[in-house]
Structure 1
Amino acid sequence: MSAEDRKKWDAKYADAAASESRPSDVLQNVVDLLPEAGRALDIAGGAGRHSLWLAERGWQVTLADISPIGLHQAARRATDRGLSIDTLPIDFDNQPLPPGPWDLIVSVLFYCPAHWTRFASALAPGGVLLYLQPTRRNLERNDRPPFQFLLPDGELPSLIPGLEVLHYEEGWLADGRHDALLVARRSSDEATR
């Protein structure tokens, strides 16, 4: 991402009303597929709506995002709620995933193909990836995100190798978007290999 991208996200998070604090309904609907607790990485999590939800459930969360303003808001919200989260300024277009292993990686509405092949190795054995991103079909009803940030319909599981699919669906899932939702787990047998 460029400095221009960083400014765009900072402007969004500077508007407190635009920074959602409630986690995605989709995340809450698949909570039974997630590990109970451990180390979680929230990729491009902005002002921390998913990080805070996880921290409330006992997770040790690292929120990684390009926006210092979003990270500051998340840290403030955590403190206000008596929670602890780690924040990490990172440009995922030019930097690797933060070192794991992670018991959970959450990526909601962030198109990051450069990291798709790295998710499995970043997860701990038995760790879970939750990935939610609009598909190209989203353009039937919405102008955003633009085409270059949309997933090919039906292809998400094949784009993220090395994980066992626990749940996959596509549809008009939340907020009027046509999304692909993948919940997948790294084999726990890999610890003994």
Structure 2
Amino acid sequence: MTGERERWNEKYSSVEFELPDDPVPELERRLTTLPDGRALDVATGTGRNALFLADHGYDVDAVDISDAALERAEARADERGVDVNWLRADLADLDLADDAYDVITVSFFSALEHLPALKAALAPGGVFVYEHHLRSSDPVEVGPSSERYRYRSNDLLRACLDLTILSYEERRRPVAGGIAAVATLVARNSSGGTQSYPKLAARDLESW
């Protein structure tokens, strides 16, 4: 994976490549409904989700393949005075313990082949928040240049039907750099016909 690391290092070393400071909106919206404890942020980039979770008391592991991304993430953590365990690794090489994390986040990383390991690492009652680019016939301004790295409609949903789906939506929305077509999934590691479901405040559509 040396080639992938070099490609992402080059991207993150560019001053023109900026990711948002804020976490993915659905993670922020659902914060008060999430279980406390340990969190894993996959493909953390410059740490948008990891820093948010650390700010709110989570013990956070954050993994990314790029040295340059993690350097920027560490600098942001130092500025905010929070601790995150930054892991420079390809997700395929990471040995995740079963039932280890109460919250797992993935944002804009094509990882369907890694979902079995990620779901196994989710503790009972743990929550999985995943957002990724979609293939779309609508005009979009942000996302992978190749359709190979975009999900088809319901790909992410079907891959997580062994979890309890709390929310799933496919839509166009503003992201850093313009409009993107995205799928957003929130799911809990639980099962059974009768469960508790959090009541959420209405979201501000203008900010999404």
C-alpha separation in 2, matches of 1:49 and 1:57: 13
**2:58 match:** 59
Higher mean displacement: 14-23 or 128-137: 14-23
Q: TM-score normalised to the size of structure 1?
A: 0.86
Q: Output the amino acid matched with 2:2.
A: A
Q: Deviations over 1:21-46 (max 9, x none)?
A: 232334323334432x2100000111
**2:171 match:** 171
Q: CA RMSD for the aligned pairs?
A: 2.2
**1:25 match:** 25
C-alpha separation in 2, matches of 1:78 and 1:60: 13
**1:98 match:** 96
**1:69 match:** 68
Query: How high is the sequence identity, in percent, across the aligned residues?
Result: 32
Q: TM-score normalised to the size of structure 2?
A: 0.80
**2:188 match:** 185
Deviation, 1:67, is: 0.7
C-alpha separation in 1, matches of 2:61 and 2:150: 26
Q: Output the amino acid matched with 1:58.
A: G
Deviation, 1:160, is: 2.3
C-alpha separation in 1, matches of 2:120 and 2:96: 12
Contact 1:25 1:174 in 2 (8 A): no
Contact 1:117 1:161 in 2 (8 A): no
Aligned pairs (5 A) from 1:74-85: 74-85=73-84
C-alpha separation in 1, matches of 2:15 and 2:56: 24
Deviation, 1:97, is: 5.2
Contact 1:119 1:160 in 2 (8 A): no
Contact 2:143 2:180 in 1 (8 A): no
Query: Structure 1 residues 171, 118: closer, same or farther in 2, change over 3 A?
Result: same
Contact 1:136 1:147 in 2 (8 A): yes
- The structure in which a higher percent of residues are helix is 1
Query: Structure 1 residues 18, 42: closer, same or farther in 2, change over 3 A?
Result: same
Structure 1 counterpart SS, 2:11: helix
Contact 2:63 2:87 in 1 (8 A): yes
Contact 1:133 1:150 in 2 (8 A): yes
Q: Output the amino acid matched with 1:137.
A: S
**2:199 match:** none
Q: Output the amino acid matched with 1:130.
A: V
Deviation, 1:153, is: 0.7
Contact 1:172 1:178 in 2 (8 A): yes
Contact 1:46 1:74 in 2 (8 A): yes
C-alpha separation in 1, matches of 2:191 and 2:104: 16
Q: Output the amino acid matched with 2:51.
A: L
C-alpha separation in 2, matches of 1:61 and 1:32: 17
Aligned residues: 186
Structure 1 counterpart SS, 2:136: helix
Q: Which runs of 5+ in 1 are unaligned?
A: none
Query: Structure 1 residues 98, 75: closer, same or farther in 2, change over 3 A?
Result: farther
